[in-house]
Amino acid sequence: MTGNKAVAYKEPGKVELIDIDYPSFELKDGPGVNPANVGRTVPHGVILKTVATNICGSDQHMVRGRTTAPPNLVLGHEITGEVVEVGPGVEFIKVGDICSVPFNIACGRCRNCKERKTGICLNVNPDRPGSAYGYVDMGGWVGGQANYVLVPYADWNLLKFPDKDQALEKIMDLTMLSDIFPTGFHGAVTAGVGVGSTVYVAGAGPVGLAAATSAHLLGAAVVIVGDLNEGRLKQARSFGCETIDLSKGGPAEQIEQILGVPEVDCGVDAVGFEARGHGHDAKEAPATVLNSLMEITAAGGALGIPGLYVTGDPGGVDEAAKKGALSLSLGTGWAKSLSFTTGQCPVMKYNRQLMMAILHDKVSIAKNVNAKAISLEDAPKGYAEFDAGAATKYVLNPNGYLN
pLDDT, tens digit, for every residue of 132-150? 999 999 999 999 999 999 9
Q: Does residue 164 lie within any of the structural domains?
A: yes
Residues 70 and 185 grouped into a single domain: no
* Pairwise CA distance, residues 284 & 78, whole Å: 27
Determine, yes or no, domain membership for 55.
yes
Residue range(s) defining the domain that contains residue 285: 180-341
- Average pLDDT rounded to a whole number, residues 80-88: 98
Q: Which of 326, 341, 356 is where one domain is finished?
A: 341
Question: What whole-number percentage of the chain has pLDDT above 90?
Answer: 93
Whether residue 325 sits in one domain with residue 261: yes
**Mean pLDDT value of segment 348-372:** 98
Mean pLDDT confidence for 153-182: 97
The pLDDT of residue 1 is above 60: no
62 vs 59: CA distance, rounded Å: 5
- What does the pLDDT look like over 341-353, one tens digit per residue? 999 999 999 999 9
Same domain, 263 and 387: no
pLDDT at residue number 312? 85
Is 184 in the same domain as 316?
Answer: yes
We report the CATH number of the domain holding residue 123 as 3.90.180.10
Please, what is the end-to-end C-alpha distance for the chain in angstroms?
A: 27
Per-residue pLDDT, 2:
76
Number of structural domains in the chain = 2
Q: Considering the domain boundaries, does residue 162 fall inside one?
A: yes
402 lies in a domain?
no
| pLDDT one-digit tens code per residue, 298-343 | 999 999 999 999 888 888 889 998 988 999 999 999 999 999 999 9
Cβ contacts of 125 within 8 Å, gap of 6 or more: 34, 37, 105, 131, 137, 138, 139
pLDDT at 165 over 60: yes
pLDDT tens for each residue of 169-219: 999 999 999 999 999 999 999 999 999 999 999 999 999 999 999 999 999
The model's pLDDT over 232-241, given as tens digits with 9 standing for 90+, comes to 999 999 999 9
Residues 33, 131, single domain; the answer is yes
Instruction: Tell whether 401 is covered by a domain.
Output: no
pTM to 2 decimals?
0.96
Here the CATH number for the domain that contains residue 297 is 3.40.50.720
Whether residues 91 and 146 fall in one domain: yes
Are residues 174 and 248 located together in one domain of the fold?
no
Q: What is the mean pLDDT of residues 53-74?
A: 94
Question: What is the reported pLDDT for 342?
Answer: 96
Tell me: do 335 and 207 sit in the same domain: yes
Q: Are 231 and 164 in contact (CB under 8 A)?
A: no
Arithmetic mean of pLDDT, 272-300? 93
- In this structure, are 112 and 168 located in the same domain? yes
